[in-house]
């Protein structure tokens, strides 16, 4: 991921397209209508996370791209109360555009969770063992990564509080997976309820199973998943670790806010920015060649070459 590949104008364009695709329901009587659309708030927040701006700096920088911007207090208020499902749908919208731009089939999907610190610095290197459990200032993100050839993207993601169950975060995301795909996961996703949801969706579970010398695996779904995880496909599960590392290296693993709800929004938007960078890479890889010296110029169409 290259941050310079994501242009502010492109962020604004994608946010407006997403806002146009969303259905806006009128609020109940007596409630003041929203002056600023969610797509505007998302665009400014993406610019803020991309350049690591403060709230005030993000609004001042966005003056060149929007005619009307909220005040600092209004912007902070909207970020705190924007539905996380809206940010999740924005990531899914970008993921679908990545698939369309690549013109390839997704090979498989990978489940995994990661954390982003906020409020204070994340001093894990100073703690050991059970002391790490005392650190509460972080958000848990469950991401579903798709693999397109040698490129990875975020198909969907969900945010939760500190130390949230990855299985509970993953269960609502399984019905959105395409039928017939393989779903990879480590031993943290060894749950019969989750395996049943994957099977009902028509997908193939490739999840590592917990086992010991004393307790043998008897459930048929767990036996099936163990057999699938013994193949070469499961070795691709580490691709999502590289996705997390790339995102945190470029956009930082620490969210400079003090509010848990805003930290969830910013953590999710960093995966949206990752998808924008992948989308920009696919769009830039298309080179148009014109045969200007040919007498049949009017009859020849431009040739599009897709480079890996």
For residues 208-226, average pLDDT: 87
pLDDT at site 229: 92
- DSSP-derived secondary structure letter, 28: P
Q: 201-204 long-range CB contacts below 8 Å, 24 or more apart?
A: 201/174, 201/175, 201/177, 203/109, 203/174, 203/177, 203/178, 203/179, 204/180, 204/228
Instruction: Report the pLDDT value the prediction gives residue 303, as an integer from 0 to 100.
Output: 41
**pLDDT for the residue numbered 189:** 94
pLDDT tens-digit readout, 71-116: 999 999 999 999 999 999 999 999 999 999 988 888 899 999 999 9
Q: Which residue has the higher pLDDT, 187 or 124?
A: 187
Q: What pLDDT shows up at residue 1?
A: 75
Min mean pLDDT across 29-33, 46-50, 242-246, 257-261 is at 29-33
The predicted-structure confidence for 153-165, as pLDDT tens digits, reads as follows 999 999 999 888 9
The mean pLDDT of the chain is: 85
Q: Which residues contact 132 (CB under 8 A, 6 or more apart)?
A: 124
Q: Is the pLDDT of residue 295 over 70?
A: no
Q: Quick one: which of 39, 124, 127 has its CA closest to 87?
A: 39
Token duo for residue 124: 């894990």
pLDDT of residue 264: 95
Per-residue confidence band for 141, with pLDDT thresholds at 50, 70 and 90? very high
- Statement: residue 225 has pLDDT above 90: yes
Which residues, 6+ apart, have CB-to-CB distance to 216 below 8 Å? none
Q: What pLDDT does 250 receive?
A: 92
Work out the percent of the chain whose per-residue pLDDT is above 70.
83
**Residue-wise pLDDT tens digits, 34-65:** 788 999 999 999 999 999 999 999 999 999 99
Q: How much is the pTM?
A: 0.85
Q: What is the predicted pLDDT for the residue at 228?
A: 92
Interior CA angle at 39 toward 34 and 40, to 5°?
75
């Amino acid at each position: 991921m290259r941050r310079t590949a994501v242009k502010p104008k492109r962020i604004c364009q994608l946010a407006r397209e997403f806002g146009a695709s969303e259905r806006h329901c009128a609020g109940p009587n007596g409630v003041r209508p929203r002056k600023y659309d969610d797509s505007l708030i998302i665009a400014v927040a993406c610019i803020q996370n991309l350049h690591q701006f403060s709230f005030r700096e993000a609004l001042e920088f966005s003056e060149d791209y929007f005619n009307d911007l909220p005040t600092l207090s209004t912007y902070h208020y909207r970020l705190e109360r924007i539905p996380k499902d809206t940010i999740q749908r924005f990531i899914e919208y970008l993921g679908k555009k990545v698939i369309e731009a690549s013109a390839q089939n997704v090979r498989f999907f990978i489940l995994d969770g990661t954390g982003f610190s906020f409020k204070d610095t994340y001093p894990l290197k100073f703690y050991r063992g059970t002391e790490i459990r005392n650190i509460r200032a972080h958000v848990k993100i469950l991401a579903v990564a798709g693999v397109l050839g040698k490129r990875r993207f975020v198909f969907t993601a969900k945010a939760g509080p500190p130390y949230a169950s990855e299985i509970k975060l993953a269960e609502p995301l399984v019905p959105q997976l395409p039928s017939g795909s393989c779903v990879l996961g480590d031993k943290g996703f060894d749950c019969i309820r989750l395996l049943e949801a994957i099977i009902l969706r028509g997908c193939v579970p490739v999840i590592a199973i917990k086992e010991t010398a004393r307790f043998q695996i008897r459930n048929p779904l767990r036996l099936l998943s163990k057999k699938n995880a013994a193949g070469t496909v499961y070795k691709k599960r580490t691709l999502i670790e590289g996705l997390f590392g790339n995102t945190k290296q470029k956009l930082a693993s620490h969210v400079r806010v003090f509010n848990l709800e805003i930290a969830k929004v910013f953590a999710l938007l960093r995966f949206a920015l990752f998808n924008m960078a992948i989308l920009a890479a696919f769009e830039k890889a298309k080179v148009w060649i014109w045969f200007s010296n040919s007498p049949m110029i009017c009859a020849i169409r431009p040739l599009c070459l897709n480079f890996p």
